[in-house]
Amino acid sequence: MKVGIVIAAAGQGKRMGARIPKQFIELKGKPVLYHSICLFKEHPFIQEIVVVTSKEDMAQTKEIVKDFAYVTVVEGGKERQESVLCGLKALQNSEFVLIHDAARPFATQDLINRLIARVAETGAVIPAVPVKDTIKVVNEKREVQSTPPRQSLWAVQTPQAFRLSTILEAHHWAKEQQFLGTDDATLLEAKGITVHIMDGEYSNIKLTTPEDLQVAEKIIEKKGGEKDV
């Protein structure tokens, strides 16, 4: 298998409330983006990694990745979806692709291995975990409209894994249709392509708010420090 990685690192992370984009915030002395790249750098099937960032952050991102042998940095777009497409088009030698958010530095090797195995079988697979809370559907007045059955609700994570030709086709279609999805799998769903779910990991959190950084430090401590991140 020839697997490529696209890491989306073009966001500003406004909900984090930090003065710098969240991918540059340090955990145990290293930027979050550095930790996320390290998830993939030694996997035997992964041959190329593309990091997509904003024009303003190109120099800092290139400084972070300079010690990685096969990481390319490309400029993204205004929306995450546009940025991911820029990353997909930059892949040179991949049959499958894992698309990952830079702000998720805790995916495990077991999760990555399972994704790669499953995408070879299905062509499109995403990790997710069952939601623990009751979810309410509300209107613009914050009035409860309904309560979906909890057993049907899953919280989706990244990396998401696809056959490269399939996800490229979906992205080009979405661009033509001016369709904006909340994640990459949504584009396949909109085209009627089956997306499979596999078990994710509750520790695979996305760093979005200051409280998430506190949780991140605890995860690192539990794993035994930076070397195990």
Range of the domain at 27: 3-128+155-228
Q: Does residue 139 form part of some domain?
A: no
Cα 70 to Cα 162: distance, rounded to the nearest angstrom: 20
Residue 14 pLDDT grade (very low, low, confident, very high; cuts 50, 70, 90): low
CATH code for the domain of 50: 3.90.550.10
Among the listed residues 96, 84, 76, 119, the one whose alpha carbon sits nearest the alpha carbon of residue 165:
96
pLDDT digits (tens, 9 = 90+) for 107-162: 999 999 999 999 999 999 999 999 999 999 999 999 999 999 999 999 999 999 99
Is residue 78 left, alpha or beta, with left meaning phi > 0 and alpha meaning psi from -120 to 50?
alpha
Q: Does residue 73 form part of some domain?
A: yes
Q: Does residue 150 form part of some domain?
A: no
- Rounded to two decimals, the pTM is 0.92
pLDDT at residue 11, as a whole number: 72
Q: Does residue 105 form part of some domain?
A: yes
Residue 42 pLDDT grade (very low, low, confident, very high; cuts 50, 70, 90): confident
Q: Does residue 142 form part of some domain?
A: no
Q: Does residue 143 form part of some domain?
A: no
Cα 8 to Cα 141: distance, rounded to the nearest angstrom: 33
Residue 227 pLDDT grade (very low, low, confident, very high; cuts 50, 70, 90): very low
Please state, rounded to an integer, the average pLDDT across all residues of the chain.
92
pLDDT digits (tens, 9 = 90+) for 19-38: 788 899 998 889 999 999 99
Cα 28 to Cα 219: distance, rounded to the nearest angstrom: 11
Counted domains in the chain: 1
The percent of residues in the chain predicted with pLDDT above 70, rounded, is 94
pLDDT digits (tens, 9 = 90+) for 168-218: 999 999 999 999 999 999 999 999 999 999 999 999 999 988 888 888 888
